[in-house]
């Protein structure tokens, strides 16, 4: 059995970088790993997902309703991907979301933040990743903030993840990303202990 993580967001938010960090950490620990990604047209502002299966030797696809953890860079995408999660699976999400253009151009009814949170059940960690990433040095580190928050729930050591970040992100941004990771880790654990 593998530990299956669904990473979701909107095209361009860095789901692929995040799954690369997890994959690299698996290689460092000598654990087999499989991942599947969205490429091509959907990346133009559409919903995107990266599936990553820690400890898996066979295929890259997660079975809906069995994912152990959901990592989402957009609150609405977290709700959209909720059915991938098994009962009792963990959710770490940004509390922000981008309203899809269909809401404006086709008058789709738009849910607000509290409605979306309500659809995630009771057991989730929703972080102000934008604010934390800004403090870490750049809004571009939001994905690493969220990864940091989720990291204690992954079957990988914090040190392998830190080493994987060093190997994966651009040279100049290593320190900033490591800071974002620690800040996320802290923010995540404080949310879990005091809901």
Binding site for other proteins (CB under 8 A): 10-11, 19-20, 23-24, 26-27, 32-47, 52, 58-61, 63-66, 76-77, 79-80, 82-84, 99-105, 108-111, 119
Other C-beta atoms within 10 Å of 160: how many? 20
Fill in the DSSP letter of residue 83. Answer: G
Q: Give min distance, CB of 150 to other proteins, in A.
A: 18
And the tokens for 104?
């404006």
Query: Cβ closer to other proteins: 27 or 138?
Result: 27
Pick between residue 121 and residue 186 the one whose CB is nearest to other proteins.
121
- Count, residues in the chain: 195
Question: By the 8 A CB rule, do 169 and 103 touch?
Answer: no
Nearest to 83 by CA among 67, 59, 60, 61: 67
The sign of the torsion formed by the CA atoms of 67, 71, 73, 79 equals positive
Locate 44 and state its tokens.
């133009």
Which residue, 2 or 188, has its beta carbon nearer to other proteins?
2
Nearer to other proteins, 13 or 179 (CB): 13
Instruction: Report the distance separating Cα 19 and Cα 79, nearest Å.
Output: 20
Q: Which of 186, 188, 180, 132 is nearest to 17 (CA)?
A: 180
Closest CB 119 distance from other proteins, rounded Å: 6
Cβ 120 to other proteins, closest distance in Å?
Answer: 10
Q: Measured from the CB of residue 182, what is the shortest distance to other proteins in angstroms?
A: 23
Nearer to other proteins, 123 or 186 (CB): 123
- Two tokens at 31? 């654990």
CB of 92 to other proteins, least distance (A): 18
């Amino acid at each position: 059995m593998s530990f299956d993580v669904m990473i979701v967001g909107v095209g361009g938010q860095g789901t692929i970088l995040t799954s690369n960090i997890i994959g690299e950490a698996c290689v460092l620990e000598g654990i087999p790993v499989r991942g599947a990604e969205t490429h091509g047209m959907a990346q133009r502002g559409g919903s995107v997902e990266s599936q990553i299966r820690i400890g898996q030797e066979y295929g890259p696809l997660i079975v809906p309703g069995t994912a152990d953890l959901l990592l989402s860079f957009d609150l609405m995408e977290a709700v959209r991907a909720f059915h991938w999660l098994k009962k009792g699976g963990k959710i770490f999400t940004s509390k922000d979301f981008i309203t899809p253009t269909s809401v404006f151009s086709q008058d789709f009814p738009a849910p607000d933040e509290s409605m979306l949170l309500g659809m995630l059940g009771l057991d989730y960690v929703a972080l102000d990743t934008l604010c934390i990433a800004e403090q870490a040095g750049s809004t571009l580190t939001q994905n690493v903030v969220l990864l940091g928050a989720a990291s204690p729930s992954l079957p990988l050591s914090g040190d392998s993840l830190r080493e994987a970040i060093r190997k994966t992100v651009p040279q100049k941004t290593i320190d900033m990303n490591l800071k974002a990771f620690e800040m996320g880790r802290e923010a995540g654990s404080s949310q879990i202990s005091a809901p």
